[in-house]
Structure 1
Amino acid sequence: MRELTVPPLATAPLVGGLADAVFDHAASDPGRVAFGRKDASGQWGEVTSREFRDEVLALAKGLLAQGVRFGDRVAVMSRTRYEWTLFDFALWTVGAQPVPVYPTSSADQVHWMLHDASVTACVVEHEDHAMTIGSVVDRLPLLKRLWQLDTGAVEELVAAGAHLGDEVVQRHRRAVTPESVATVIYTSGTTGRPKGCVLTHANFMFETDTLIERWEPVFHAKPGDEASTLLFLPLAHVFGRMVEIAAVRGRVKLGHQPTLTASALLPDLAAFRPTFVLAVPYIFEKVFHAARRKAEAEGKAGHFDKAVDVAVRYAEALEHRAFGEGPGPSATLRMQHQFFEKVVYGKVREALGGRVRHAMSGGSAMDRRMGLFFEGAGVTVFEGYGLTESTSAATANPPERTKYGTVGRPVPGTSVRIAEDGEVWLRGDNVFSGYLNDAEATALVLEDGWLATGDLGRLDEDGYLTITGRKKEILVTTSGKSVSPIVLEDRVRSHPLVAQCVVVGNNRPYIAALVTLDQEAVEHWLAMQSRAPLAPAELVRDPALEKEIRRAVIAANTLVSQAESIRTFRILAHPFSEEHGLLTPSLKLKRRAIEAAYAAEVDALYR
């Protein structure tokens, strides 16, 4: 199949903007709990629709009083927290355009984005962010205001606008149309400077309303309960931004968690108890590996591995039945599955808060076996695919027929085409209008309404899309063999001891790899062997560890031909980090930067 269009379920409203939902919900259902919010002591409280509307209105008055005007761009540099959502909707209420900035961005990155977007004001989370802005403020002549969340920015603005009447704000809100620019989101910049994607209110309304219409039943743990989700994705990323807007428009109780570490996230999942979650594969992998390490520490690794095998086979049987290819799980398999329900699967669900039965995954590819395990453990993970340029999801697995290992079918109202060279093209009302101040780059990716994604993929006979790589990342060996690194990297990375994997081999005689380690997993692995901790320099030379990583490489090589296989590898002492310019803020590998930083190690692979 080369092209597929799925008819639309939702259309963007002809009038209004994203902030209207806040005011409409407060009028129709003022007492509904719209948000969970942590207080200073760390306890979760509740914010109703009416209370949120009042906070948005008061903050919007303050923004107007401090000089923010219709069409102005205001940067927000923060981790994921309630105040970010409050500022988003207040800015949209007055017709301004938030420009999200990753909290880990460097001074040069911040300068580029704020300069390119002609930002006139900025909201930061804390003093470190303020200092980053301060270091480049002399080169930002349009920047007039800076507010800091941790020093009372909200209270300061509310006080500044207290003298304004509601009607002043409402006039601004009524001037917003679906075609108005909602935000400028900068791409993560794996190659070259980040580009500002211009997304309209209509883009987000179509995207979120479509997802709500098609997937709303899975937002609930059981029919009739209150839908809720804990947002821990960065709001600087289009995926997190889409979740924020969909929760407000879809009347889903929303909580915020600023830290992605297991020690911070897992307690909040247990306390907030969401009914569904939206995450990246990294989160599901962390939950899985943590559960296995715990089982191994208790001497039950074999028991856990048997439970995994049963879960995978059980889920595969369900998948085959959904596609008319089998009768479903056998009686024996159902009995085995029931046996492991309480002792293994229930504990895995507890790690996600206990109520989660459905989840959505995006941002990168999820291993098919990992998806099958969670399905067998009682959590259906709907994998999807999209870009900043497509306002997040352009494809997703449908609730009734999930095909693991794929990123699903086009979301309703979207078309997917596979070009002659295998590139994935997208078209729909969720596709952006272009890059800010860059007509040349826009012309390279937009043609007759089609977005050329730069990703390679294929559509199967059922219309499900599988992403096979990136055009710019295809490696060509000196023998002329073209190799897509993503399949190999994902399989190597699925080993519990591996943190990251970068496949190299462009203009080289064969394919090789650089591998980094998951420090927490390595410490557990050493402890289970009653071995003392090793320094990084010792670890990379440890024969037993090298044997484990070699197993991961051999497993990856079973997926490709001999000419495409990894011939040799090097274990690195330290992981790739954003701090050293080797990862984007969304944790994507910067391949060119990695190969440059480890040029000596790469050369050594070919001696």
Structure 2
Amino acid sequence: MREFTVPPVEAAPQVGGLADAVFDHAEKTPDRVTFGRKDASGRWRDVTSAQFRDEVLALAKGLIAHGVRFGDRVAIMARTRYEWTLFDFALWTLGAQPVPIYATSSADQVHWMLHDAEVTACVVEHEDHAMTIGSVIDRLPLLRRLWQLDAGEGAVAELMAAGAEIDEDVVHRHRRAVTPESVATIIYTSGTTGRPKGCVITHSNFMFEADMLVGRWEPVFHSQPGDEASTLLFLPLAHVFGRMVEVAAVLSGVKLGHQPALAASALLPDLASFRPTFVLAVPYVFEKVFHAARRKAESEGRAGPFDKAVEVAVRYAEAMEHKAFGLGPGPSAALRVQHQFFEKVVYGKVRDALGGRVRHAMSGGSGMDRRLGLFFEGAGVTVFEGYGLTESSAAATANPPERTKYGTVGQPIPGTTVHIAEDGEVWLHGGHIFSGYLNNPQATDAVLNDGWLATGDLGMLDEEGYLTITGRKKEILVTSGGKSVSPAALEERVRSHPLIAQCIVVGNDRPYIAALVTMDQEAVEHWLAMQGRAPLPPAELVRDPSLETEIRRAVVAANTLVSQAESIRTFRILAHPFSEEHGLLTPSLKLKRKAIEKAYAVEVEALYG
């Protein structure tokens, strides 16, 4: 199939801007709880629609007092926290344009984005961020204001006090000037292949995306019919995925909490205390939950039963999937009995790790292993995998609630068309497609054609319109023998091994395909402990014969996906993981291939020695 369209769901006509929802909710349901916010003692406190409206209004008045006006661009450099959402909606109330900056961005990256976007003011989280801005401020003549969230009383209190004398009508005059076509934000791409580009996203783009997602998937936001929908946002708000979660939650009245760290040690306790009804995450989170559960079972001497439970969950989910598509009768009686047996001892504990109430989740940002998705389905958490880009304001496709096809990224979201070009490139069309790159008409013309977005991704549509992403056009490797190889599937399969953190496949203009792999330190320490062995220094670990045998198993498993000419012939274990700090990962954890190959040029050469 070359093209597939899903009609739009019914939605209210677009008028005004994103911030109007804050004021509408406060008027209609002032006492409805719209946020959970952690206080200084670590307890979650409710924030109502009326309280949030009042805070947005007070902050907007303060921004006006400090000179922020309609159309101004204000950068936000912070982790995921309540104040970010507060600033977003205060700025949107004024018709200003937030420019999100990753909390881990380097001074050079920060300078480029603030300069390119002509930012006039900036909000930072703490002193380190302020110092990063300070190191480049002499080259940013337009930057006039810098506010720090964690300094003294904090930027929010400072601004609210500054705006106390501003008339509310001044704010509302700004708000009434905002139209759906107004620019909402400039979000910079991750820069995997060069300097980040600023995607111009309008209020209309976000409204369309939120309306279509909520209209189609709202029933699965609830743990059970009639309960209050809530989600804990732990994705970076500098990423379009996290930003869309924020927007859709506020516009639809879903209770929203914020969590600034993806590390399991910080995230899991907050999931347990906030108890969301659904979550939106990247595959990394689901992998961490699964591997942590298996390590715990192994430590307790229950690895065998756990692995059996995994197998039963996968077979059960696969049987349910076949039934949904008319390909089978569903789980057999014997399989249902086995599944019920593992419900309390394994599956319930996996759900408890997500807070206990989650029955549905959405995954995006990168590909999710089909078997992992089936396991979670069998364990009682349906994960709807989707696909999108910054340029498509987040999701362009997602698996529908009633017919999830694991291993695919689903069908187009309502109001969207997916087209597969002659060379296999995925093209998208819909109301969520961005209006272009800031200050870069040449790059805009390269990807936008009469409203169609050429994504740069390669994919296939099946007969029912489900999309499978097979790779990136720019990442296709061509061996010296002329064989074209897409590295994504190989890397994903290798990385599914519990001991492996990252994998990069190399082989461009080389005689064969090879790989560099890094280790999951926590998993390796557990693996050694289970063998009664002490932790090994990295230099010894990479030469450990037992570890090499484990990694070879992962490589052999990955090679079953491809022909012999496309298979990984050899590999090298690296002592340290690729990190953002060393410029080898983007802030959204994507591999910077050229940078990695340059940094590990000696190791790559050794693969072909």
Give the TM-score taking structure 2 as reference length.
Answer: 0.99
Distance apart, 1:166 and its partner CA: 1.1
Could you tell me which residue of structure 1 aligns to residue 186 of structure 2?
A: 184
Q: Letter of the aligned partner of 1:510 in structure 2?
A: Y
Secondary structure at 2:150's aligned position in 1? Answer: helix
Counterpart CA distance in 2 for 1:275 and 1:9 is 23
Q: Which residue, out of 208, 222, 226, partners 2:210?
A: 208
Deviations 1:211-243 (A, max 9, x none): 000000000000000000000000000000000
CA drift at 1:489: 0.2
Distance 2:42 2:114 in 1: 33
Structure 1: 5+ residue stretches without partners: none
**Which residue number corresponds to residue 265 of structure 1?**
267
Structure 2 letter corresponding to 1:48 = T
1:495 and 2:482 aligned = no
Q: Deviations over 1:384-418 (max 9, x none)?
A: 00000000000000000000000000000000000
Say if 2:184 and 2:201, in contact at 8 Å, map to a contact too.
yes
Correspondence for 1:435 among 417, 437, 442: 437
What letter is aligned with 1:230?
L
Query: What are the within-5 Å matches in structure 2 for residues 145-164 of structure 1?
Result: 145-151=145-151, 152-164=154-166
| Equivalent residue for 1:240, pick from 207, 217, 242 | 242
Task: Tell me the SS of whatever aligns to 1:46.
Answer: strand
Which residue is equivalent to 1:23? 23
CA apart distance, 1:13: 3.4
For 2:440 and 2:483, how far apart are their aligned partners in 1? 35
Question: Is 1:113 the equivalent of 2:113?
Answer: yes
Q: Which of 169, 172, 176 is the aligned partner of 1:170?
A: 172
Query: Where do residues 476-487 of structure 1 align in structure 2 (5 Å cutoff)?
Result: 476-487=478-489
For the residue of structure 1 that corresponds to 2:294, the secondary structure is: helix
Q: Distance in 2 between matches of 1:142 and 1:515?
A: 44
Distance 1:168 1:111 in 2: 32
Question: In the alignment, residue 161 of structure 1 is paired with which amino acid?
Answer: G
Question: Structure 2: which amino acid aligns with 1:387?
Answer: L
Match of 2:342 in 1: 340
Amino acid at match of 2:84: W
How far apart are 1:492 and its partner, in Å? 0.2
Alpha-carbon distance in 1 for matches of 2:194, 2:218: 38
1:79 corresponds to: 79
Distance across 2 between alignment mates of 1:250 and 1:215: 12
Q: Are residues 1:544 and 2:543 paired?
A: no
- In 2, the alpha carbon distance for the partners of 1:85 and 1:338 equals 42
Letter in 1 for 2:223: A
Name the amino acid aligned to 1:398: P
Aligned position for 2:361: 359
Q: C-alpha separation between the residues in 2 aligned to 1:249 and 1:378?
A: 28
Instruction: Give distance in 1, aligned partners of 2:52 and 2:14.
Output: 25
Larger mean Cα displacement after TM superposition, 6-15 or 426-435:
6-15
Counterpart for residue 471 of structure 1? 473
**How far off is 1:448 after superposition?**
1.2
Give distance in 2, aligned partners of 1:483 and 1:55: 53
After TM superposition, the structure 1 = structure 2 runs for residues 128-143 of structure 1, keeping only pairs within 5 Å, are 128-143=128-143
Provide the TM-score with structure 1 as the length reference.
1.00
Does the aligned pair in 2 maintain the 1:10–1:206 contact within 8 Å? no
Q: Once the 2 structures are TM-superposed, how far is the Cα of residue 55 of structure 1 from its aligned partner?
A: 0.2
Q: CA deviation at 1:14?
A: 3.5
- Do 1:12 and 1:206's aligned partners in 2 also have CA atoms closer than 8 Å? no
Moved over 3 A (4+): 10-14
What does residue 65 of structure 1 align with?
A: 65
- Could you say if the C-alpha distance between residues 144 and 10 of structure 1 is closer, same or farther in structure 2, counting changes exceeding 3 Å? farther
1:7 is displaced (CA, Å) by: 0.8
Give the superposition deviation at 1:12.
Answer: 6.9
Query: Given the alignment, which residue of 371, 374, 385 partners 2:373?
Result: 371
Matches within 5 A, 1:299-448: 299-448=301-450
**Displacement of 1:480:** 0.5
Q: CA deviation at 1:466?
A: 0.1
Contact 2:14 2:207 (8 Å CA) reproduced: no
Cα distance, 1:540 vs structure 2: 0.2
Unpaired segments ≥5 residues, structure 2: none
Give the equivalent residue in structure 2 for 1:99. Answer: 99
Q: Is the CA contact 1:118–1:142 (under 8 Å) kept in the aligned structure 2?
A: yes
Q: Deviations over 1:335-356 (max 9, x none)?
A: 0000000000000000000000
Alignment correspondent of 1:43: 43
RMSD between aligned residues: 0.5
Find the counterpart in structure 1 of residue 573 from structure 2: 571
Cα distance, 1:165 vs structure 2: 1.4
> How far 1:359 sits from its partner (Å)?
0.1
Distance, in Å, in 2 between the alignment partners of 1:561 and 1:262 is 37
Q: Report the alpha carbon displacement of residue 5 of structure 1 after superposing the two structures with TM.
A: 1.1
Does structure 1 conserve the Cα–Cα contact (< 8 Å) formed by 2:299 and 2:530? yes
- CA apart distance, 1:191: 1.0
State the one-letter code of the partner of 2:100.
P
Native 8 Å contact 1:12 1:202 kept in 2: no
- Is the CA contact 1:12–1:205 (under 8 Å) kept in the aligned structure 2? no
CA distance in 2, matches of 1:603, 1:462: 45
